[in-house]
Amino acid sequence: MTPPGTTMRAAQFDRAGGLEVLRVRTLPIPTARPGRLVVKVRAAGVNPSDITSRRSRWPRLPRGTCSDFSGEITEAGPGAGDLHPGQPVWGWLGPFALTRSTGAAADYVEVEYDRVAPAPVTVPLRDAAALPLVGLTALHALRDVVRLRPGQRLLVVGAGGGVGTAAIQLAKAMGADVTAVAGSAKHALCRELGADRVIDHAAPAPAVRVRDHDALLACHGAGLRTHLDRLHRTARAAVLPARSFPYAIASSLLPGPRVRISAARPLRHDLEELAEHVDSGTLRPVIDQIHALESVQEAHRAVETGHTRGKHIIDLALT
């Protein structure tokens, strides 16, 4: 299955900066090198990491944007495994892929074969693009870092965003009791996704410490000290932002909950596990807004606020 034509649209920036640096350009359609696939992108997810990348001059420019996606394979290079042209897939390029890729906010993307998997079949292919990065992040944090077990009480801070909405659902599928911390506008969403109770992120810290949670997933670093005070002293905590690194160091030296920085990896078997959750009905994409590629600046603007309700995605079929 050969891609039509020789050129494609891709959102890129050639200097670090604000929204104005993002441009939709015409680039050659990639060809599949050994061990790689070319995917015709149906949709791509916009994540906070894309904002960080756009503001950074390191390591090289120009760069693309967006690293998770859904679409259909159009070409498979030699040694690209058992995936084949015409197959619907989803995937994540990886944490450093934008340094050597056009990004997934493009009509086509080349990707290593082990960073994609067959897409779930029970949701539209477009909507599936909202899950790979946030789903992998939540899965790794809950399964591998805090080692969540049935019956344990989990505290999810930042529960209304992309990672948080995935974490609530995955934690319930693992048999946990979930407390969600989110803004008041997202309380109903958190309950709809399965949270057993919801705490307003603006609520004052309790006057008396009640250490009644076994695990914590902090999707942002704000107020982390207060949330750690809600954990049993033997609890485990997974934090996503690098600015929480001092807490991880301190927890290795002092008594109390163990704090670990959690970072996902683009592994095929984890993508397959996520697809099983979607197709079994225990995980669904939560989409705040869908944008056309030409509106990539608006998608970045929305994510930059830090107040999204689920994910913003770019639909390559929209014009």
For 308-317, how does the pLDDT look when each residue is reduced to its tens digit (9 = 90+)? 999 999 999 9
Task: Please report whether residue 275 resides in a domain.
Answer: no
Task: Please report whether residue 24 resides in a domain.
Answer: yes
Axis-axis angle for helices 162-173, 268-280 (nearest 10): 70
Residue 252, domain CATH: 3.40.50.720
- Residues 224, 153, single domain; the answer is yes
Task: Please report whether residue 276 resides in a domain.
Answer: no
Mean pLDDT, rounded, for 254-281: 89
**209: domain range?**
134-261
Whether 45 has a pLDDT exceeding 90, the answer reads: yes
Tell me what percent of the residues of the chain surpass a pLDDT of 90.
76
**Short-list 118, 117, 115, 106, CA closest to 35:** 115
Residue 252's pLDDT band, with cuts at 50, 70 and 90, is: low
Residue 264's pLDDT band, with cuts at 50, 70 and 90, is: confident
What is the sign of the dihedral through the CA atoms of 258, 136, 182 and 155?
A: negative
- Residues 77, 146, single domain; the answer is no
Whether 96 has a pLDDT exceeding 90, the answer reads: no
Task: Please report whether residue 243 resides in a domain.
Answer: yes
Task: Please report whether residue 200 resides in a domain.
Answer: yes
Strands 197-200 and 153-157: unpaired
- Residues 182, 245, single domain; the answer is yes
Q: Which residue has the higher pLDDT, 241 or 184?
A: 184
Distance CA 291, CA 275 (A): 24
Residue 208's pLDDT band, with cuts at 50, 70 and 90, is: very low
Tell me what percent of the residues of the chain surpass a pLDDT of 70.
90
- Residues 242, 145, single domain; the answer is yes
Whether 205 has a pLDDT exceeding 80, the answer reads: no
**Short-list 193, 200, 229, CA closest to 213:** 229
- Residues 124, 49, single domain; the answer is yes
- Residues 252, 305, single domain; the answer is no
**In this structure, what token pair is assigned to residue 318?**
């929209």
Distance CA 159, CA 179 (A): 9
Q: Can you give the pLDDT at residue 249?
A: 66
- Residues 138, 235, single domain; the answer is yes
- Residues 307, 254, single domain; the answer is no
Task: Please report whether residue 25 resides in a domain.
Answer: yes
Least confident of 49-58, 125-134, 207-216: 207-216
Q: What is the number of structural domains in the chain? A: 2
Task: Please report whether residue 125 resides in a domain.
Answer: yes
Distance CA 81, CA 77 (A): 9
- Residues 141, 229, single domain; the answer is yes
Whether 253 has a pLDDT exceeding 70, the answer reads: no
- Residues 166, 207, single domain; the answer is yes
Residue 3's pLDDT band, with cuts at 50, 70 and 90, is: very low
**In this structure, what token pair is assigned to residue 315?**
């639909």
* Cβ neighbours of residue 18 closer than 8 Å, sequence gap 6 or more: none
Whether 98 has a pLDDT exceeding 70, the answer reads: no
Q: Can you give the pLDDT at residue 33?
A: 95
- Residues 117, 174, single domain; the answer is no
Helix H or strand E encompassing 263:
none
pTM for the model? 0.92
Distance CA 144, CA 135 (A): 13
- Residues 31, 92, single domain; the answer is yes
Last residue within a domain, chosen from 246, 261, 276: 261
Condensed to tens digits (0 to 9), the pLDDT of residues 150-165 reads 999 999 999 999 999 9
Q: Can you give the pLDDT at residue 306?
A: 85
Residue 243's pLDDT band, with cuts at 50, 70 and 90, is: low
Residue 182's pLDDT band, with cuts at 50, 70 and 90, is: very high
Q: Can you give the pLDDT at residue 99?
A: 62
Mean pLDDT, rounded, for 195-202: 93
Residue 108, domain CATH: 3.90.180.10
Task: Please report whether residue 163 resides in a domain.
Answer: yes
